[in-house]
Amino acid sequence: MTLPALHTTGVLYRRILSQFPQDISLAFAYGSGVFKQHGTNQGQMEKNMLDFVFAVDDPVTWHTMNLLQNRKHYSILKLLGPTMISSVQNEHGASVYYNTLVPVDGRIIKYGVISTESLINDLMHWKTLYVAGRLHKPVSIVITGENGKLRAALVANLKSAVTASFLMLPESFTEEDLFLQIAGVSYAGDFRMVIGEDKSKVANIVKDNIQHFRILYSNILRDCPQVVYKPQQGKLEVDKSPEGQFIQLMALPRTLQQKITKLVDPPGKNRDVEEILLQVAQDPDCGAVVQQGNGPKNGVWKTVSYSSKKLIKMWRGWRRKPSVSQMS
């Protein structure tokens, strides 16, 4: 299956990427500077920061080259050298090192660097969902290499988002319901969405980008034996039988399966994962269990500083009172 992603032909993104070391296995642009969000116009988009993620096979070598080309992009960590920067990248948080507020070609950009290996791990297993979650939503692919394992992981990540969303939705729902659920997967239980984040964020992402979500997911939905997909009507019906739900639970990423089993399995019982998921599949509250398992990923203290800067944005979101229902 070919990667159902949005490949940009934008000269701007290619010009920006040309100013970095070229040993990149995947580069994509994302966020409100790339895709229109509800309530913003083109002029506002052009003023927003452009967000990028670069996946690289060898972070030490890449940072060594980038320090030679773009030393001013780095914080004081540049004084410690590329090995320490790569160590900070690989051993903390979501295994992404960000340089932010970087002026390039008349725009302000932020770019994160992640090892290809860490990205594949997140895509396949949802260890942090930090980059995998961004790739559940429309992005503009600027560079994609020939790494077959990475390409397969990108598709697997989209399939996992669909499967998890099926479990959390009712038997019948609309395309928009599905895309809202998918867009909300990476925010579920995120402290920032309770304190300081714009509560209408998920709806704003989806509302003006339905067609982009269709491009990402239509082939997966057509090929999935668990769902009846009616694209002309924009409606779907999913298998909610215990058997169907068990198949979906067994297809979830490993980290989410582990979180679900910890919720359900009493301490000391130590049943195997398959037995526990079979029990969950027969539970009338299966969707709620999956939702809870997909819950908190970020510690309170890690996000307090970030969240305090977002309070005014959330206040504006409340004042707007959007009519589209929010996903938690």
**pLDDT tens by residue, 123-148:** 999 999 999 999 999 999 998 888 99
- Nearest Cα to 215, choosing from 47, 5, 1? 5
Tell me the one-letter amino acid at 87: S
Q: What is the mean pLDDT of the chain?
A: 85
Are 123 and 186 found together in one domain?
A: no
**SS3 of 90, please?**
helix
Look at residue 56 and tell me if it is in a domain: yes
Look at residue 48 and tell me if it is in a domain: yes
Are 128 and 227 found together in one domain?
A: no
Look at residue 318 and tell me if it is in a domain: no
**Count of C-beta atoms within a 10 Å radius of residue 318:** 11
**Count of C-beta atoms within a 10 Å radius of residue 14:** 13
Domain boundary among 145, 170, 195: 145
Domain that holds residue 214: 158-295
Number of domains forming the structure of the chain = 2
CA distances from 271 to 125, 285, 293 (A): 21, 20, 17
Domain boundary among 115, 145, 175: 145
CA distances from 31 to 137, 144, 158, 204, 207 (A): 9, 19, 18, 11, 14
With a CB cutoff of 8 Å and minimum separation 6, the contacts of 111 are 20, 51, 52, 53, 54, 98, 99, 102
Look at residue 183 and tell me if it is in a domain: yes
With a CB cutoff of 8 Å and minimum separation 6, the contacts of 250 are 274, 277
pLDDT value at residue 47: 80
Are 177 and 129 found together in one domain?
A: no
Are 214 and 167 found together in one domain?
A: yes
Highest mean pLDDT among 136-145, 167-176, 258-267, 290-299 belongs to 167-176
Are 42 and 140 found together in one domain?
A: yes
Instruction: Give yes or no for residue 313 having a pLDDT over 70.
Output: no
Are 203 and 135 found together in one domain?
A: no
Are 73 and 119 found together in one domain?
A: yes
In tens, the pLDDT along 213-233 reads: 999 999 999 999 999 999 999
Look at residue 138 and tell me if it is in a domain: yes
Are 63 and 125 found together in one domain?
A: yes
In tens, the pLDDT along 63-99 reads: 999 999 999 999 998 999 999 999 989 888 899 999 9
Cα three-residue angle 129-135-140, rounded to 5 degrees: 150
Are 54 and 82 found together in one domain?
A: yes
Look at residue 164 and tell me if it is in a domain: yes
Are 87 and 119 found together in one domain?
A: yes
Instruction: Give yes or no for residue 288 having a pLDDT over 50.
Output: yes
Instruction: Give yes or no for residue 3 having a pLDDT over 70.
Output: no
CATH of residue 126: 3.30.460
**Count of C-beta atoms within a 10 Å radius of residue 215:** 13
Least confident range of 18-27, 129-138, 167-176, 309-318: 309-318
H or E segment at 47? helix 42-47
Look at residue 23 and tell me if it is in a domain: yes
pLDDT value at residue 219: 96
Are 77 and 181 found together in one domain?
A: no
Nearest-angstrom CA–CA distance, 50 and 111: 8
Are 91 and 203 found together in one domain?
A: no
Token pair listed for 57: 């096979």
Look at residue 303 and tell me if it is in a domain: no
Q: What is the mean pLDDT of residues 247-257?
A: 97
Domain boundary among 123, 145, 167: 145
Q: Is 112 left (phi over 0), alpha (psi -120 to 50) or beta?
A: beta
Nearest-angstrom CA–CA distance, 24 and 4: 20
pLDDT value at residue 1: 56
Tell me the one-letter amino acid at 53: V
